[in-house]
Amino acid sequence: MTPFLLTIFVLKFFIPGLFSVLFRAFGLGYRDKKRLAAGLAAYCAYTLGLTAALILTMGYGEFTHVAPLVMTAGSLLVLIFTTDSVGKTIFLQLTQGCMSTMISVILNEIRTVFSLSYPALVAMICVVYPLVFWFALRYWAKPLRFMADNIHAELPTLAALPVLVTVIVSLLPTYPAQSFANHPVYITAMMLAVEAVYFLFLYSFYRNLLKISNLLKGEARAKLLEAEILSYQESLETARQTRHDLRHHNALVLDFLENGDASGAMDYLRQNNDALAAANPLQYSANPTANAVLRVYSRQAQANGIAFAAAADFPERLPLTTPELGALLSNLLENAVEACKKAEPSRRSIAVRAETDETALRLEVRNSVAGAVAFADGMPVSARPGGGTGTKSIAHIVQGRGGMLRFKQEDGEFVAQILLTLSQ
How far from 170 is each of 71, 187, 205, CA to CA, in Å?
A: 11, 11, 24
Write out pLDDT tens, residues 318-350: 778 888 888 889 889 989 999 999 889 988 999
SS (H, E, C) 315-340: CCCCCCCHHHHHHHHHHHHHHHHHHH
Write out pLDDT tens, residues 60-99: 888 988 888 899 899 999 999 998 888 888 888 888 888 8
Summary mean pLDDT of the chain: 84
Q: Is the pLDDT of residue 387 over 70?
A: no
A 10 A CB-CB count for 222 gives 15
Of the pLDDT bands very low, low, confident and very high (cuts 50, 70, 90), residue 119 is very high
Read off the amino acid at residue 6.
L
Of the pLDDT bands very low, low, confident and very high (cuts 50, 70, 90), residue 376 is confident
Q: Is the pLDDT of residue 396 over 70?
A: yes
Per-residue confidence (pLDDT) for residue 366, from 0 to 100: 93
Contact call for residues 13 and 67 (beta carbons, < 8 A): yes
Q: Is the pLDDT of residue 188 over 90?
A: no
Q: How far apart are the first and last CA of the chain?
A: 79
Per-residue confidence (pLDDT) for residue 252, from 0 to 100: 67
Write out pLDDT tens, residues 88-109: 888 888 888 888 888 988 998 8
CA distance 419 to 405: 7
User: Percent of the chain having pLDDT more than 90?
Assistant: 32
Per-residue confidence (pLDDT) for residue 274, from 0 to 100: 62
Q: What's the distance, CA 64 to chain centroid?
A: 38
CA distance 92 to 150: 13
**Residue 355: helix, strand or coil by DSSP?**
strand
CA distance 30 to 78: 9
Per-residue confidence (pLDDT) for residue 365, from 0 to 100: 94
Per-residue confidence (pLDDT) for residue 284, from 0 to 100: 81
Higher pLDDT: 151 or 356? It is: 356
User: Percent of the chain having pLDDT more than 70?
Assistant: 85
CA distance 107 to 228: 59
Domains of the chain: 3-215 (no CATH), 284-424 (3.30.565.10)
Per-residue confidence (pLDDT) for residue 423, from 0 to 100: 62
**Residue 380: helix, strand or coil by DSSP?**
strand
Write out pLDDT tens, residues 198-251: 999 988 888 888 887 777 676 766 666 676 666 666 665 655 666 555 555 666
Write out pLDDT tens, residues 274-298: 655 554 556 788 788 888 888 888 8
Per-residue confidence (pLDDT) for residue 36, from 0 to 100: 94
The mean pLDDT value for 31-50 works out to: 94
CA distance 22 to 350: 37
Tell me, yes or no, if the pTM score tops 0.75: no
Ranked by mean pLDDT, the top range of 177-181, 260-264, 332-336 is: 332-336
Of the pLDDT bands very low, low, confident and very high (cuts 50, 70, 90), residue 299 is confident
The mean pLDDT value for 353-364 works out to: 87
